[in-house]
Amino acid sequence: MADTYPRPRFGAPREPARPKNPGSGLVRVVDIAAGSHARAVALLVLCGLLFFLPGFFNIPPVDRDEARFAQATKQMVESGDFVDIRFQDEVRYKKPVGIYWLQAATVETASRLGLPRAQVRIWLYRVPSLIGAIGTVLLTYWTALAFVTRRGALLAGLVMCASVLLGVEARLAKTDAMLLLAATAVMGSMARVYLSWQRGDDPPHPPWTWPAIFWTALAGGILLKGPLILMFVVLTVATLAILDRSAGWLWRLRPLWGLMWMLVLVLPWFVAIFLKAGDTFFSASLGGDMLSKVASPQESHGAPPGLYFVLFWLTFWPGATLAGMAAPAVWRARREPGAQYLLAWLVPAWIVFELVITKLPHYVLPLYPAIAILIVGVLERGLLSRKPWIVRGTAWLFVMPAIVSVGAVIGGMALLRQPEFLAWPFAAGAVIFGLFAWWLYDDAHAERSLLNAVGASWPIAVCVYRVITPSLAPLLPTVQIARALRGVQCVGPAVASAGFHEPSLVFMVGTATRLTNGSGAADFLLQGSCRFALVEWREERAFAQRAEAIGLLYNVATRIDGYNFSQGRAISVAIFRSEGTE
């Protein structure tokens, strides 16, 4: 009997191959994790460690803010004074004491556990920021549960975990990651109270849990960065009160008891610093730091309104890829209680930040959890915009991993004059994930694209933070200077620096490092043996003239060439030593 089945073409399979879906594996992982809170939390913690740990231990101290915070904490540990905040002999009253206490506790714990040279290991000072970043991811998940399904809340946590700006702050020993944690806890607990009021819930014994979280996190935020966290609360409450023509739900936060509890937590240190320094702290932190940024640019960080909107598309990647497509649906739902609360959290504070003259990218970071939840809410409903101009205008951002990873490799090669082969596989992985995210995007499978973009964040983190950035250490003068001074044979070396005054130098070389000019460095060497003068080439003439005038005999130990990234210029530092010093 004749064969009635069509014969396959040469080389073709006898049965049609199943189409491959590069995003299906990630979707299955999310499906499994969303089956319970425990699995969801475990996945978020694992992703936090994978995304935030690359480079965490290897990146040298970053000038200037990180090194200033770390050095002030180091002096607290050295002096045993945990009230006053100082950088060398100068008071540092820009921020309250919260982050310094957290960093000091970490360093003290490591020292008691026997970790050698704990006080100069910058990664210990970064531990609170790492905890703050992972805690923010978990609190974003917890907050989102009040608005979306467990699966949606998990996606919101992953979006925050992969965001570029949070990845940067997780690796810096500053206040911002911990402030974000406090702000997310405050806004998440307030959201639950507000939404229960909107639903008409009226339990005979309202829970104390949400008010306790709200007031405790509010106190923590005040100790971290002063009254800034109050701005988010006040603007959100005022906006909701205007829209709802009522603010009766605030009584569910137990304001009388809560205010007393908050004062119990914050007043002791503020009283202690007032007794120690008078009103100097309050005038410096409120007037000199916070209010001055409103009217004038501080430290050359002035910019016109609109900067944060432009930076958002990079700093909130990969979530920013869907933000534009989610915006029309968010606007249509603006009077729904959930969307109304999230927009009240986001919009007024964003406008304030855009109007303030001084601008830094991390200022708007406490608003990003609201954006993540809004995007996921629209994604869950399948309401992403299909308008071609919006899709074409934002979907291309999925290829950002290709741009960033290739740019990082090329930049590293240009600076170091070597190929950095170790970064290539991770750059290739980021490119593949990013191109899959772009290729797979359509409105019915936007989640697949988003998850592929989230997946691209890990190889990007390894490429940029673990391979490229630490490899720039030979260009950093502080690292080379500290390494050179550790090799001296004399006991108790004293150091002065002329022309190179970066905070990282004080942190790595020692609190007693004298910051001076060329003439002062020569006078310093004349005062005894085992002394070293670090003289930047622009100060060498003044150093030589003064040395000749006072009859100083000195030797050149070594010369270090590098790049001062804070000032954006190449520098050359000569290490002079007093005669007879080894």
Kindly give, in sequence order, each residue whose CB lies less than 8 Å from that of residue 223, ignoring residues fewer than 6 positions away. Answer: 96, 97, 98, 101, 265, 266, 269
Summarize the chain as % helix, strand, coil (round to 5): 65, 5, 25
Amino acid at 378: V
State the Cα–Cα distance between residues 36 and 44, nearest whole angstrom: 13
Q: How far is CA 528 from the centre of its chain?
A: 44
Of the CA atoms within 13 Å of residue 27, those in its CB half-sphere come to: 11
Amino acid at 419: P
Contact 212, 219 (CB under 8 A): no
Cis peptide before 126 (omega within 30 of 0): no
Q: Which residues of 41-61 are buried (b: 16+ CB within 10 A; e: fewer)?
A: bebbbebbeebbbbbbebbbb
| Closest listed residue to residue 168, CA positions, set 503, 461, 454, 463 | 461
Q: What does DSSP assign to residue 303? A: -
Block mean pLDDT (10 aa), the chain, length 582: 43 45 78 96 98 96 94 97 95 93 98 95 98 98 97 98 97 97 98 95 84 98 96 98 95 96 97 92 75 61 88 94 94 96 98 93 97 97 86 76 84 81 88 80 78 92 93 87 89 93 96 96 92 95 95 90 87 87 60
The structure's pTM equals 0.92
Kindly give, in sequence order, each residue whose CB lies less than 8 Å from that of residue 145, ignoring residues fewer than 6 positions away. Answer: 153
State the Cα–Cα distance between residues 398 and 449, nearest whole angstrom: 8
Give the CA diameter of the chain: 114
Contact 321, 398 (CB under 8 A): yes
Question: By three-state DSSP, how is residue 536 classified?
Answer: strand
State the Cα–Cα distance between residues 52 and 29, nearest whole angstrom: 20
State the Cα–Cα distance between residues 197 and 144, nearest whole angstrom: 17
State the Cα–Cα distance between residues 334 and 315, nearest whole angstrom: 25
* Residue-level pLDDT at 12: 39
State the Cα–Cα distance between residues 332 and 320, nearest whole angstrom: 19
Q: Tokens for 139, please give them.
A: 């609190």
**Backbone conformation region of residue 438, classed left if phi is above 0, alpha if psi is from -120 to 50, else beta:** alpha
Kindly give, in sequence order, each residue whose CB lies less than 8 Å from that of residue 181, ignoring residues fewer than 6 positions away. Answer: 131, 132, 133, 135, 136, 139
Residue ranges of the alpha helices (H) in 173-284? 176-199, 209-225, 228-244, 255-277, 280-282
State the Cα–Cα distance between residues 343 and 362, nearest whole angstrom: 19
Of the CA atoms within 13 Å of residue 443, those in its CB half-sphere come to: 15
Q: What does DSSP assign to residue 97? A: S
CA distances from 398 to 169, 369, 401 (A): 22, 20, 7
Kindly give, in sequence order, each residue whose CB lies less than 8 Å from that of residue 117, ignoring residues fewer than 6 positions away. Answer: none
Contact 136, 176 (CB under 8 A): no
